[in-house]
């Protein structure tokens, strides 16, 4: 695959995803997830924040020692101690990367960091130079970039690149951007820095439900790495969902021209592994990996799918490792789906009996929320076939 046309997938399930309130993964769980991400051919796995706790240090070290094809990253503030910890945890990785960050928006610099812009620039210089003296891959993130002053942000990124950063990340830390605005913002930041020999990256949060849309907009503007998480986990409303961005790029190749190279057939399995280990259920209506993502209930839809799946499915369930399309029988279902179900159960009914069975079935739908195939089987055997022919 031509590198120009590849979007690098940076998975941060094990770092930003784990920052979701209520999630706490142990070392073994993190390792299991990391190995599945590697099998799926994720380009970068952010394994954790080594300076955050000794448990996270050990987890990052363990993943760094066992993952061999994906790049393994560890997060660090620009502080020397954090970078040192990240280095120690990552140093045996086949392809290690230190990911260092500092906030650049006026509100974060004044109230959180209590630093002047000059002091922040100095931190960037020292942090990135130190990280780069330790390893050849260094990502620098300007936290809250989307609310930063553009000229200052460009200066920060130029400084990071001069000090050796190989990836420059533009986070929409609080999920405040909207797609049109973010596309222009990213385009202008890249142009203002004049830097081309780095990988431009974005990291979008989902506070307004726009993380995937903003990531796609950023790709149009020149970003070539997207940071994301399985099931969209992460701080507050979460991050860009990996399965959604990957399938959006694949399904709308006509609009994006870029490939991720991921083995998308593994998406469902990885999503359910992460769901089990985090205890965060996947909502049934979740795009791509929700239980209903390929389920059809309304009669008109079921008829369409029975004639040609593409009437109501824009992806093949097999391409994301889903069990397949499902026609769910309910009060909105029509005769076509009902007939198919009856035939699948091994019955062959005359038109009259089928109409009679359909009426009984609709009646049952008003009394029972979920109709199983056993219900239909019993209904046909006891009430249709048992009566006069
Ligand atoms: O949301 C954010 O800005 C982050 C950075 C550390 C990349 O998670
Ligand atoms: Zn984040």
Residue among 171, 207, 240 to mutate when testing ligand 1 (max atoms within 8 A of CB): 171
Q: Tell me if 240 CB under 6 Å of ligand 1.
A: no
Do the Cβ atoms of 47 and 30 come closer than 8 Å?
Answer: yes
Tell me phi and psi for residue 194, to 5 degrees. 65, 15
Q: Is the pLDDT assigned to residue 1 strictly greater than 90?
A: no
Q: Tell me if 173 CB under 6 Å of ligand 1.
A: yes
Q: How many CB atoms lie within 10 A of CB 254?
A: 6
pTM, 2 dp = 0.95
Confidence label for 25 from pLDDT (cuts 50, 70 and 90): very high
Q: Is the pLDDT assigned to residue 388 strictly greater than 80?
A: no
Q: Is the pLDDT assigned to residue 3 strictly greater than 90?
A: no
Q: Give the pLDDT score at 372.
A: 87
The pLDDT mean for the chain works out to: 96
Measured by CA distance, the residue closest to atom 8 of ligand 1 is 16
Residue range 41-93, pLDDT digits in tens: 999 999 999 999 999 999 999 999 999 999 999 999 999 999 999 999 999 99
Residue range 267-298, pLDDT digits in tens: 999 999 999 999 999 999 999 999 999 999 99
Do the Cβ atoms of 181 and 202 come closer than 8 Å?
Answer: no
**Binding-site residues:** 16, 203, 205, 239
Q: Which range (130-144, 158-172, 362-376) has the least confidence? A: 362-376
What is the C-alpha separation between 156 and 25, in angstroms, rounded?
34
Q: Is the pLDDT assigned to residue 2 strictly greater than 60?
A: no
Q: How many CB atoms lie within 10 A of CB 259?
A: 15
Stretch 26-35: mean pLDDT: 98
Residue range 313-333, pLDDT digits in tens: 999 999 999 999 999 999 999
Q: What percent of the chain has pLDDT over 90?
A: 94
Q: Give the pLDDT score at 303.
A: 95
Q: Which ligand 1 atom is nearest residue 171's CA?
A: 3
């Amino acid at each position: 695959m031509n590198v120009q046309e590849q979007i690098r997938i940076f998975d941060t399930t094990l770092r930003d995803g784990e920052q979701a309130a209520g999630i706490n993964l142990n070392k073994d769980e993190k390792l299991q997830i990391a190995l599945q991400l590697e099998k799926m051919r994720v380009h970068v796995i952010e394994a954790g924040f080594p300076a955050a706790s000794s448990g996270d240090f050990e987890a990052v070290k363990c993943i760094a020692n066992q993952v061999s094809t994906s790049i393994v990253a560890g997060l660090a503030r620009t502080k020397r101690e954090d970078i040192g910890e990240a280095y120690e945890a990552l140093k045996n990785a086949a392809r290690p990367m230190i990911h260092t960050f500092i906030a650049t928006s006026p509100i974060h610099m004044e109230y959180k960091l209590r630093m002047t812009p000059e002091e922040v620039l100095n931190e960037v210089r020292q942090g990135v130079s130190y990280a780069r003296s330790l390893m050849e891959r260094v990502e620098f993130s300007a936290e809250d970039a989307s609310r930063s002053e553009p000229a200052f942000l460009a200066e920060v990124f130029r400084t990071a690149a001069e000090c050796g950063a190989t990836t420059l990340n533009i986070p929409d830390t609080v999920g405040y951007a909207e797609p049109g605005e973010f596309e222009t913002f990213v385009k202008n930041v890249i142009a203002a820095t004049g830097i081309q020999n780095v990988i431009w990256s974005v990291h979008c949060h989902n506070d307004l439900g726009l993380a995937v849309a903003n990531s796609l907009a950023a790709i149009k503007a020149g970003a070539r790495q997207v940071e994301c998480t399985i099931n969209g986990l992460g701080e507050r409303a979460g991050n860009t969902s990996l399965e959604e961005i990957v399938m959006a790029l694949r399904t709308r190749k006509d609009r994006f021209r870029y490939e991720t190279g991921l083995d998308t057939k593994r998406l469902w399995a990885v999503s359910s592994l992460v769901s089990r280990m985090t205890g965060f259920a996947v909502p049934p209506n979740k795009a791509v990996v929700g239980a209903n993502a390929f389920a059809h209930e309304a009669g008109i839809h079921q008829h369409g799918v029975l004639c040609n799946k593409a009437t109501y499915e824009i992806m093949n369930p097999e391409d994301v490792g889903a069990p397949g399309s499902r026609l769910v029988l309910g009060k909105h279902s029509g005769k076509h789906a009902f007939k198919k179900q009856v035939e699948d159960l091994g019955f062959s009914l005359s038109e009259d009996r089928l109409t009679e069975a359909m009426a009984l079935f609709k009646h049952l739908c008003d009394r029972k929320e979920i109709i199983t195939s056993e219900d239909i089987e019993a209904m046909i055997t006891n009430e249709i076939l048992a009566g006069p022919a």
